[in-house]
Amino acid sequence: MRSLISGSGEYRYITVMDLTPREQPVVRRAVAAYHEMKKEHRGAFGGTTADEILEELKPSPVRWNELAAFVIQRAEGPTRRKR
């Protein structure tokens, strides 16, 4: 899932993951939910969490872990400004 590359003395992760056609829209929704949760909320978050969205796929524990890591990486990964 991840490969470490070196360039100009710095290391960065490039994440490439093969998603099935069924997983693609669910992962996009999970990333959007993760962004929504990260916004400043006071008190408990009342919306649908990324975890709940990923559970719709009923993946194996290993696949769920891979998908969750991918969602976090996509949501918190480098933006165009940080590249």
Domain annotation covers residue 36: yes
- The Cα 70–Cα 27 span in angstroms is 9
- Domain containing 28 equals 20-83
pLDDT tens-digit series, residues 9-39: 454 554 567 888 999 999 999 999 888 888 7
Q: At what angle do helices 23-38 and 61-76 cross, to 10 degrees?
A: 50
Q: In this structure, what token pair is assigned to residue 17?
A: 């993951």
Domain annotation covers residue 1: no
- The Cα 75–Cα 23 span in angstroms is 16
Q: For the chain, how many structural domains are there in total?
A: 1
Looking at residue 83, its pLDDT comes to: 52
**Residue-averaged pLDDT of the chain:** 77
Q: Where does the chain have alpha helices with state H?
A: 23-38, 50-55, 61-76
